[in-house]
Amino acid sequence: MTEFGFIDYIAKLFAHIPANDFEGIGDDCAILPLEGGESLVFTADLLAEHVHFLRHATSAYEIGRKSLAVNLSDVAAMGVRPIATLLSIALPSDLPKGWAEAFMKGYRSLSEEFSVALIGGDTTRSGSGITVNVTAIGRGPSANIKRRSDARSGDVIFVAGELGASGSGLQDLLAERFDTPQAVAHRNPQPQVTEGIWLGAHREVHAMMDLSDGLASDLRHILRRSKVGAEINTELIPIAEGSDLQTALCGGEDYKLLFTVDPFTADPLIRNFHSHFGTPIYPIGRITEGNELQWLRNGCPMEADWQGFTHF
């Protein structure tokens, strides 16, 4: 079974149990509407040694930051502010001295940056390997929440940063090149928290998610949940320095926001975003009717079967 086949199986298996007002499985976060026009959102992400990181290639401090970063990215992708996390860690007995303390200092540095409280968790011994699970909670106006299911035919598709640095960095790490700028980017993802909250407050932004498995995989989630198709102009993909198109589309862990925008307000949004953040957002294609994902090169259809990262 594939990762996403298994998630579908889980969702069906539990479909008869009351949702208790939650909008559950299927988006970057689950949503719980509160009284007074606000909602809470919830997400959990797991990092496993040997799968998500290699101990000799990443410092404890960086793993601490990254465990939190990937969760804050999912909250940002909903268009709201992260407010708190729960942290559970399983640590093996062969850890170097000071590893756990350095991990916590990394986790704290990103918590401070975005004023996110650590409100609980669990600590245990592990039989082998480090496992970290973070649950993050966000809060914001219900009207600002962006779902994967809200893309409309004609929308312009945007990414909020360059792609491929993390994927190229992973290739560097696996080749024991630890200090390239791309390897550093892979170990230090920066979640687009402020950008996500800002985009959340803009009604012309329709669907949004964060790019964790690569555009070629993640865009399909928006298409499937919104029941639409897309055309992507591959020559418009912003490729990070030192990377390439294939890695920008299929490499994971860039943690940039992917979103769709009403076509009549796309140009002012580009200008407003740039004047607010000093960095660009990149239009890369448009949402179409139907359910096809079509790659284009200078307007011509391409024969390409790009897929992103999956676990199974």
Closest separation between CB of residue 135 and ligand ADP, Å?
Answer: 11
210 near Mg ion, rule: CB under 5 A: yes
How far, in Å, CA of 129 to CA of 148, rounded?
A: 34
Closest separation between CB of residue 289 and ligand ADP, Å?
Answer: 25
User: Closest by alpha carbon to 145, among 195, 76, 213?
Assistant: 76
Contacting Mg ion within 60-89 (CB under 5 A):
74
For the stretch 218-235, what's the b/e string if a residue is b when 16 or more beta carbons lie within 10 angstroms of its beta carbon?
bbbbbbebbebbbbbbbe
Q: Tell me the residue nearest to Mg ion as measured from the CB.
A: 28
Closest to Mg ion by CB, 62 or 210: 210
Bridge partners of 209? Answer: 258
- Which of these segments, 25-33, 190-198, 273-281, 289-297, binds Mg ion (CB under 5 A)? 25-33
Closest to ligand ADP by CB, 111 or 212: 212
How far, in Å, CA of 198 to CA of 80, rounded?
A: 9
Binding partner of residue 7 among ligand ADP, Mg ion, none, CB under 5 to 8 Å per kind? Answer: ligand ADP
Closest to Mg ion by CB, 172 or 210: 210
Chain positions contacting ligand ADP, by CB under 6 A: 7, 10, 25-28, 45, 74, 212
Binding partner of residue 26 among Mg ion, ligand ADP, none, CB under 5 to 8 Å per kind? Answer: ligand ADP
**Secondary structure (H, E, C), 271-307:** HHHHHHHCCCCEEEEEEECCCCEEEEECCEECCCCCC
| Exposed/middle/buried for residue 121 (C-beta within 10 Å: 0-12, 13-18, 19+) | middle
Closest separation between CB of residue 282 and ligand ADP, Å?
Answer: 21
Which residues are near Mg ion by CB under 5 A?
28, 74, 210
